[in-house]
């Protein structure tokens, strides 16, 4: 299903409310809420709203376990471009989540340890009970996480090569495309699909052409987000501009 909102502020609030409802329901049941999280510009409003709910409404993250979708490789966690830094800045430093419950792919591993590490990341999600909710953005290549064109629908967590367009889109954060890492560790499409609820968000006319392909184009690994079509538990949450090319 596709839901179009007047603007990203309203849409972000709705998504944050859904996440908060899961956290509260799990709290009442004495269980952990397991969240799959994305970085980038798109989910910032959702995290802002969750922080506000924590500060003003007492929403607690004590029973929350998080797994981030991806991290650049190589990447030091302290670097300002790291997704560790992003998540701390936008969410983790402002709520009461336990450090040991935060999981973000490790961009510092030696290459020959990555394969086993990715299997363990996957297993850790399973051991936590699986993802209750997965937040997604979409890249202009159609990537979800860093599953670039060519990614298989049953792919797992792994080291991938970033598309040239993805590196160009990231160039401002790195002061030039040549500084953007060529690789990343990402959850796979198969990993994402195991989540019980998935919300893909997109804002602005810049995303309108890829949203049209993702929602209405034929399902193909050329546009990995098309694999989300026809899934009962997937919702595309858009602002008017991102939805402007949909028929
Ligand atoms: C980030 C991620 C990516 C982004 C996508 C859109 O963790 O997995 O798929 O969601 O590149 O990025 P923004 O939101 O910056 O347009």
Residue among 40, 72, 172 to mutate when testing ligand 1 (max atoms within 8 A of CB): 40
> Strand 198-202 to strand 133-136: parallel, antiparallel, or no bridges (unpaired)?
parallel
* ipTM score for this prediction: 0.99
Question: So what's the pLDDT on residue 112?
Answer: 98
Catalytic residue set: 148
Question: So what's the pLDDT on residue 17?
Answer: 98
Of 24, 37, 58, 53, residue with least CA distance to 133: 37
| Tens-binned pLDDT, residue by residue, of the chain (247 aa) | 999 999 999 999 999 999 999 999 999 999 999 999 999 999 999 999 999 999 999 999 999 999 999 999 999 999 999 999 999 999 999 999 999 999 999 999 999 999 999 999 999 999 999 999 999 999 999 999 999 999 999 999 999 999 999 999 999 999 999 999 999 999 999 999 999 999 999 999 999 999 999 999 999 999 999 999 988 999 999 999 999 999 9
Give the model confidence (pLDDT) of 196-218 as tens digits.
999 999 999 999 999 999 999 99
Scanning the chain, the segments in alpha helix (DSSP H) are 8-28, 44-57, 83-90, 111-127, 164-169, 171-174, 189-193, 208-216
| Ligand 1 atom 3, closest CA | 145
Question: So what's the pLDDT on residue 45?
Answer: 98
Instruction: Tell me, using a 6 A CB cutoff, whether residue 137 lines ligand 1.
Output: yes
Question: So what's the pLDDT on residue 210?
Answer: 98
Domains of the chain: 2-239 (3.40.50.1360)
Instruction: Tell me, using a 6 A CB cutoff, whether residue 145 lines ligand 1.
Output: yes
Instruction: Tell me, using a 6 A CB cutoff, whether residue 148 lines ligand 1.
Output: no
Question: So what's the pLDDT on residue 230?
Answer: 81
Angle, CA 19 vertex, CA 243 and CA 11 arms, to 5°: 25
């Amino acid at each position: 299903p596709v839901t179009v909102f007047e603007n990203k502020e309203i849409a972000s609030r709705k998504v944050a409310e859904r996440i908060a409802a899961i956290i509260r329901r799990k709290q009442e049941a004495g269980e952990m809420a397991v969240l799959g999280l994305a970085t980038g510009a798109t989910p910032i409003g959702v995290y802002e709203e969750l922080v506000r709910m924590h500060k003003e409404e007492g929403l607690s993250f004590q029973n929350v376990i998080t797994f981030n979708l991806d991290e650049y490789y190589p990447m030091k966690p302290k670097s300002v471009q790291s997704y560790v830094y992003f998540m701390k800045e936008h969410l983790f430093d402002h709520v009461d989540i336990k450090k040991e419950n935060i999981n973000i792919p490790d961009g510092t591993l030696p290459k020959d340890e990555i394969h086993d590490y990715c299997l363990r990341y996957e297993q850790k999600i399973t051991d936590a009970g699986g993802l209750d909710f997965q937040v997604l953005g979409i890249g202009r290549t159609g990537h979800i996480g860093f599953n670039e064109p060519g990614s298989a629908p049953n792919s797992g967590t792994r080291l991938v090569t970033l598309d040239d367009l993805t590196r160009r889109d990231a160039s401002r954060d790195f002061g030039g495309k040549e500084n953007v890492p060529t690789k990343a560790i990402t959850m796979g499409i198969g990993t994402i699909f195991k989540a019980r609820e998935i919300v893909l968000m997109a804002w602005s006319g810049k995303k309108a052409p890829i949203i049209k392909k993702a929602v209405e184009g034929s399902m193909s690994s050329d546009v990995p987000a098309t694999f989300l079509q026809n899934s009962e538990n997937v919702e595309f949450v858009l602002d008017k501009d991102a939805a402007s090319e949909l028929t």
